[in-house]
Amino acid sequence: MNTLTVSVITCTRNSEPWLGECIDSVLKQRSVNIDYIFVDGGSTDGTLERIRKLKRPYTLLERGQEGISEAMNAGLEIARGDIIAHLHSDDFYLGDDALYTVVEAFQRQRCRWLYGRTLRCIQGQLHAEGFVAPSFSHAQLLRGNFIPHPATFVSRELIWRVGGFDPRLRYAMDYDLWLRLARIAPPLALPQPLAAFREHTGSLSTRERAQAMREDLQVRLSHTGFNPVARAAHWLRYAVRRQRERLSQQQVAHA
């Protein structure tokens, strides 16, 4: 058994359709100490009943319908683990050794945070990410977020040092956090997929894609400073991405 504990924080709100697979993926992780935390935002669909059926220790916070950043920070406040993981209720870990791999890397490499890759889960089928992530640098991360939320793990000390998630952000709170973390310590990048990210029409990032892209831009600009050339480059990349997104939506609409 590894000596480090992983706090897995899952935020829920009417998550019953997906929560079972998410929970099962955590329960089957082997040889790892897990501090399991749920933060619920007022579920009425059976989510709470599913959580309360758990046969292993867990912590459940029931809160009002606040934002996701506030919910994730609430989980941070009570987390006891050495390593913090946020696994949303519609995502899940791959295999039974994802967290073991993470803890081993923390102990062996003495890193302060790390990320692996994800697979896309679409209608129950797993697919590759569809792109090749670049080598990490702060400058490269500022061009675009290639760090997947469900496969990112941060030491509790480091995440508190940067202040957790910004509650003013609705979509790009993780991206903003990665940029703040990277200014203090570079992450370890693992090549293997550690989690699956579920894509469905009910997810916030899918349903409100245009707003999410705009907030991504705002985060980039806030971390860029007043360099006019760099800011113009961010605006140009945003315009190109928005045009590609519009064309993609038009193709879907006419399919």
pLDDT tens digit string along 82-107? 999 999 999 999 999 999 999 999 99
Structure tokens at 191: 């090549």
Tell me how far apart the alpha carbons of residues 51 and 143 are, in angstroms, rounded to a whole number.
39
What pTM value is reported for the model? Answer: 0.91
Q: Which domains, ranges and CATH numbers included, belong to the chain? A: 5-203 (3.90.550.10)
Residues 6+ apart with CB under 8 A from 218: 172
Structure tokens at 107: 């102990």
The predicted-structure confidence for 223-232, as pLDDT tens digits, reads as follows 998 888 888 9
What average pLDDT does this structure show over 145-172? Answer: 96
Which DSSP state fits 149? Answer: G
Q: Which is more confident, 194 or 208?
A: 194
Q: Do 154 and 112 contact (CB within 8 A), yes or no?
A: yes
Tell me how far apart the alpha carbons of residues 177 and 160 are, in angstroms, rounded to a whole number.
11
pLDDT at 205: 55
Q: Do 97 and 190 contact (CB within 8 A), yes or no?
A: no
Q: C-alpha distances in angstroms, 188 versus 45, 82, 107, 136?
A: 39, 16, 12, 9
Residue 146: pLDDT band by 50, 70, 90 thresholds?
very high
Structure tokens at 149: 């939320």
pLDDT higher than 70, residue 203:
no
Which DSSP state fits 13? Answer: S
